[in-house]
Amino acid sequence: MGKEEDIKTRALQKIIVDLRMNHADAIDKAYAYFWDEYSPDEFLAGTALELGFINFEDWLVFDWKANEEGETFLDLRLRNRTDLPAEEREVLSRMRDSVLSLYEVASVSKDKRVLVKDILLSDEYSLRNRMLTRGLKKGDIFATRILHLDDGPAMSGCVYPYRREDRKKVLSYIDKQFSRYKRNVRADGTMREYLKDYGDVFNLVWLNFIQNPVKDTQ
């Protein structure tokens, strides 16, 4: 783990601890919103349930609007904690505008470095963290958050895995929701702005596939 990756991990842990101690009501509200009023342990178990909580905490810190001004808990950390070490402040500031997006594995090299393409924003990244990319194969699709740490891109730790054969369905759903966003929220809104405001869309899609699995037909 690189130095900035370590700073990121420790800083996010501090934010989560603070939220649990001082913002329990906000967590409950965000939790109900993220899970669409469902209780995740009713239809998730084991690794999937653990992943769901990791995804929730990532979204809670980076994207949930903590006040009427539209600030996130990451924004509040930077604004309110004037005593943050310079290195921690710099890393958090660099991460604050990151968004969840949808990625497809373009290639996997012999050294296991994974090249992914952002399907929605047209970016490409070469990921190096083998713990997070282990098992990925060309053509796999998933949603995650890419952060720029230690002079390179890295996954934040959250991931919403989808089946390759559901690619068109995922894109169709997101396209419909983005069109609704432009129609009802911001006529001039960009896809990046939409993803920053409604990154939970990936969880809704993920849950829908889990709750309503499509059987393969031969």
- Reply yes or no on whether the pLDDT at 39 is more than 90: no
Question: In the prediction, which pLDDT does 66 show?
Answer: 93
* Residue 216 covered by a domain: no
Report the C-alpha gap between 114 and 139 in whole angstroms. Answer: 11
Mean pLDDT, to the nearest integer, of 144-156?
Answer: 90
In this structure, what token pair is assigned to residue 73?
A: 């808990």
Q: How confident is the model at residue 152 (pLDDT cuts 50, 70, 90)?
A: confident
Q: Is pLDDT larger for residue 134 or for residue 190?
A: 190
Is the pLDDT higher at 24 or at 43?
24
At residue 110, does pLDDT exceed 80?
no
- In order of 2, 33, 101, 103, 182, the CA distances from 179 in angstroms are 39, 21, 16, 20, 5
Q: What is the mean pLDDT of the chain?
A: 91
| 71 assigned to some structural domain | yes
Give 210's pLDDT tier (boundaries 50, 70, 90).
confident
Q: Please enumerate in sequence order all residues whose Cβ is within 8 A of that of 33, keeping only pairs 6 or more positions apart, or say none.
A: 64, 200
Using 50, 70 and 90 to split pLDDT, how confident is the model at 150?
A: confident
The answer as to whether 182 is a domain residue is no
What region does 122 belong to: left with phi over 0, alpha with psi -120 to 50, or beta? Answer: left
Report CA Rg, the chain. 17
Tell me the C-alpha distance between 15 and 148, whole Å.
19
Is the CA virtual torsion 40, 44, 45, 50 positive or negative? Answer: negative
Q: Does residue 175 belong to any structural domain of this protein?
A: no
Q: Is residue 57 part of a domain?
A: yes
Q: Are the CB atoms for 74 and 92 separated by under 8 Å?
A: yes
- Domain of 63, in residue numbers: 3-95
Residue 116 forms part of a structural domain: no
Q: What is the pLDDT of residue 134?
A: 78
pLDDT band of 218, cuts 50, 70, 90: very low
